Structure 1
Amino acid sequence: MGSRRHFLLSTLAATAAAPAAAQFRIEISGLGGTQMPITVASFRGEAGVPQPVSAIIRADLQRSGVFKPSDAPLPLDENSSVALPEWRDRGADALVAGSVTRLADGRYDLRFRLWDIVKGEQVLGQSKVVVEADLRLAAHRIADEVHEKLTGERGVYATRIAYVVKSGRRYTLHITDADGEGGQVALASPEAIISPAWSPDGKELAYVSFESQKAVVWVQNLMTGARRQIANFRGSNSAPAWSPDGSTLVVTLSRDGLAQLYAMSRNGGTPRRLTISNGIDTEAVYAPDGSFIYFVSDRGGGPQIYRVGAGGGNATRVSFVGNYNISPAISPDGKTLAYITQQGDAFKLMTQDLASGAVQILTDTVDDESPSFAPNGRLLVYATRLQGRDVLMTTTLDGKIKTRLLTTTGDMREPAWGPFAR
């Protein structure tokens, strides 16, 4: 476990450089405080369809921590006559029903309706015609639309995550749906891959690859597969982070001695130094408005999280609880910092309210890594170790609802949650 943390530890100790998509199930644990009971009926016709549409929608909604979904005890579709008071008596606040029909040209017609039982009215009805390969994505989009209609907030079920799988001596960089299913392999290598970072438009991914026996920063176009070297200077090149407008990458370079932060064009070129300290500065991440950069530095002794203006200058310390805090992630609204803190021999996921400084530990595991916020700010994905395996988890920000993505092959690491589709 811990390719990123082990690399960071080695960087903090010295400046020398360190030397096919799986299918998943989800396992949900925990009890939320206030969850909306919603019935998602099995879609008519889905028994003969390659993807379990209604089950995908139910799993999406449950993973959010906002909903408590269930199946319907009787057959329903979008044309059913629904007696809303009866469903209220059954304890449901909302009801989704629909159908899947295979068309003559091989595409599928997905139709659904959403009833708000509390309001006593139908609030949504749609039809989507998709090819077979997009059935799962269509189910995620239905879940997103249900989520937004009932909460007023965008859902993240149709977004994507990037992560690394290590299987034996082979590393693969995966891009999948937010539930870990489907997707593609962006890169396969016998050497380590770490620190994937999404461009703001979701079209490119920056990452660090050791394929040339040293840490080099690359950017890859996810549609074409074309990639370009961004930073391959003397020493180590690591920890890429995109500016919110996508024009700039901040990277950690040791070309001038100690590892420090540098800004570079998204196409590479001459780096511009942002920090000057007598310590190691690394793991940068931009504030959502682009005004500040948060990063890890041991300039005060042990590693802590600091903040500096986007143009560089004097840095101020942000984390004060504990002697070892790394891997900052900032919520999309800029109000919450997530990071990894060390407590004894344990590494745990923590959040900090940036206004008040109040902190909260979210996990009971002891080897957490690499937190990344969902684009609506309501969930975090992170890596940890369970039952001898490196796994990915999502958690609500109160830590009450957690989802484990399960696979039979390889250890999963380095998750990064992608942006909303544009």
Structure 2
Amino acid sequence: MPAIHSLTARAARSQRGVTLRLTGAAKDSARRSLGWFALLAACAMPTAHAQLQVEISGAGANQYPIAVTDFADGDGQRGRQLADVVRADLTRSGLFRMVNAGGTRVDAGGGLDFAMWRDRGANAVAYGSSSGNGSQVEINYHMADTVQQAEIDSQVVSASMNNWRSAAHQVADRICERLSGAQCAFSTRIAFVAKRGNLWELMVADADGHNPQAALRSREAIISPSWSPDGTRLAYVSFESGKPVVYVHNVRTGQRNVVANFRGNNSAPAWSPDGSKLAVVLSRDGSSQIYSVNADGSNPTRLTQSGTINTEPAFTPDGQSIVFSSDRGGSAQIYRMVVGGGNATRLTFNGGHNVSPRVSPDGTALTYVTRRGGNFQIAVLNLSTGNEVLLTNGPDDQSPSFSPDGGMVLYTAGQRGGTLNVRSIDGLAQETLSASGAGITAAAWGPFGTAK
């Protein structure tokens, strides 16, 4: 292995954010559950072709220092753009500190000046060339360890020209995985709900927020997007029929089906890990209760029996338990029960309002919205130790979800004019995506395999 000792913490990414003292924030996602309060009025939203503005901030002394040179090509423009995407991906993860490559391009066949790059502070250098033929773009990528003075990785990746950023995301994944020893999530996709004027849109975009495309547009509210485990379907709630109804939407074909349209409210869908079932919240028996339904909507089975509000379910990765929000103890808190229902165990004890739980991919941590001192913040809880950190500062953050590698949390900030945000789990890096006059109201990070 190359000299990558500074990335050993990556092997326990879910632990990183819960053993450091961080600051944080998150807003009540009642519009996901329809159980806590009436829907909040939403804001304005980017169209499928809106230009997203990206701001990345954060630094850390323990980040792995790496230089990514511009990829050599005919005129330098394409190679520079591809390298910029790679650098942005690595920075956003919080694992890497980018060493300024100063516009340098390295010929893969001409050798590397290891001493020069070490003097600049880089432990590794990624370089190579790019080419295109009008329909395809290709990157011939290499990476060298400046301490061992040897090449440690190489690969040729390609993508269609109209999705050229995908090739850069593949390179970033390769670099991250080679240096950290774990699968990385730069090539995945996210879903989010936003509104411009009177139009609601369910958007699907790359993990960095680029290439947003509308899966659904409606004059009525859309809330609670949830990815299927295979990344081909989105469950969500639409008000297009005049009441909340749960749909499942195939993002590749556009086909969609109603899976919950019972008397009262139908809300907060969440997929089981095997994709065969959904947990949904129904008020057909009075108060909001959690039910299990098959993926086609058949066989609704009630799981919670208390007369209080039970809402916002999420399966644990092993499929054995469901976490959810409930006010059964007098205030909104997060509980866990076995998947078939029954007695529930309380998980959150800090603060008087904790909602919108999501479990990390390895099952060791929980992210949720907590209210502290009037601010709604995103928190992360270590389920083994009970150690909690506040990941954001608020005042109005909501809708958290883990990246599929567990290293980042996606969330929205702001009830009106909201933005889409990504925070590394250790708080070392944050990325904010915004568009003029836009408002993003809900978000969900897709699983591995959601790249185009």
Q: TM-score w.r.t. structure 1 length?
A: 0.94
Q: Deviations over 1:58-108 (max 9, x none)?
A: 0000000001124423331333310223311221011011222223x6422
Equivalent position of 2:314 in the other structure: 285
- Give the number of the structure whose residues are more often strand, by fraction: 1
1:96-148 deviations in Å (ceiling 9; x for gaps):
11222223x64223211111223321111122243202311111010000100
Q: Post-superposition shift, 1:3?
A: 10
* Structure 1 equivalent of residue 213 of structure 2: 184
For structure 2, the 5+ residue unaligned runs are 1-25
Q: Which amino acid in the other structure matches residue 30 of structure 1?
A: G
- Name 2:113's counterpart in structure 1: 83
Give the distance between the partners of 1:95 and 1:65, measured in 2 at CA: 18
Output the amino acid matched with 1:94: A
- Determine whether 1:324 maps to 2:348: no
Residue 61, structure 1, aligned to residue 90, structure 2: yes
**Cα contact 1:109–1:129 (8 A) shared by 2:** yes
**Partner of residue 403, structure 2:** 374
Relative contact order: is structure 1 or structure 2 higher (C-alpha 8 Å, sep ≥ 6)?
A: 2
Q: What SS does the corresponding residue of 2:300 show, helix, strand or coil?
A: strand
Q: Does 1:125 align with 2:154?
A: yes
Q: Which residue of 1 aligns with 2:262?
A: 233
Separation of aligned partners in 2, 1:7 and 1:219? 18
Q: Structure 1 residues 38, 3: closer, same or farther in 2, change over 3 A?
A: closer
C-alpha distance in 1, partners of 2:78/2:116? 30
2:35 maps to amino acid: T
User: In the alignment, which of 345, 356, 361 is matched to residue 374 of structure 2?
Assistant: 345
Tell me the alpha carbon deviations over residues 146-191 of structure 1, each in whole angstroms, 9 at most, x when there is no partner: 1000110111110100001111111111110000001421000111
Cα gap change, 1:51/1:23 in structure 2, threshold over 3 Å: closer, same or farther? farther
| Change beyond 3 A, Cα 1:81–1:8 | closer
Letter in 2 for 1:75: R
CA deviation map 1:255-312 (0-9, x unaligned): 1111100000001113001110020110000001011000001111111101010111
Return the alpha-carbon distance in structure 1 between the equivalents of residues 191 and 96 of structure 2.
25
SS of equivalent residue, structure 1 residue 394: strand
State the secondary structure of the residue aligned to 1:158.
Answer: coil
Q: Which amino acid aligns with 2:182?
A: E
Cα deviations by residue, 1:397-422 (Å, 9 ceiling, x for unpaired) = 22231111122242112110000117
Whether the aligned pair in 1 keeps the contact of 2:222 and 2:236 (CA below 8 Å) is yes
State whether residues 411 and 421 of structure 2, in contact with CA within 8 Å, keep that contact through their aligned partners in structure 1: yes
C-alpha displacement of 1:12: 3.0
Say whether residues 1:415 and 2:448 are aligned partners: no
* Matches of 1:8 and 1:186, distance apart in 2: 18
Contact 1:42 1:71 in 2 (8 A): no
Determine the C-alpha separation between the residues in 1 that align with 2:383 and 2:187: 29
Does structure 2 retain, via aligned residues, the 8 Å contact 1:51–1:136?
no
Contact 1:258 1:280 in 2 (8 A): yes
- What amino acid does structure 1 have at the position aligned with 2:191? A
Q: 1:224-271 CA distances to partner (integer Å, 9 max, x unpaired)?
A: 000000000000000000000100100000011111000000011130
- Is the deviation greater in 372-381 or in 393-402? 393-402
- Does the C-alpha gap of structure 1 residues 367 and 3 become closer, same or farther in structure 2, counting only changes over 3 Å? closer
Contact 1:168 1:410 survives alignment (8 Å): no
Q: Which moved more, 1:235-244 or 1:393-402?
A: 393-402
**SS where residue 146 of structure 1 aligns?**
helix
- Once residues 229 and 51 of structure 1 are traced to their aligned partners in structure 2, the CA distance between those partners, rounded to angstroms, is 46
Q: Is 1:404 aligned to residue 428 of structure 2?
A: no
DSSP 3-state at the match of 2:298? strand
Match of 1:40 in 2: 68
How many angstroms apart in 1 are the aligned matches of 2:250 and 2:51? 23
Q: Report the identity percentage.
A: 43
* Counterpart pick for 1:207 among 236, 244, 251: 236
- Unpaired runs of 5+ residues, structure 1, are none
Paired residue for 1:172, among 194, 201, 214?
A: 201
**C-alpha separation in 2, matches of 1:369 and 1:145:** 31
Flag the 1:118–1:385 CA change in 2: closer, same or farther, 3 A: farther
Contact 1:4 1:414 in 2 (8 A): no
Q: Root-mean-square deviation (CA), in Å?
A: 2.3
2:394 matched to which residue of 1?
Answer: 365
Which of 27, 36, 42 is the equivalent residue of 1:12? 36
1:392 to 420, 424, 427: 420
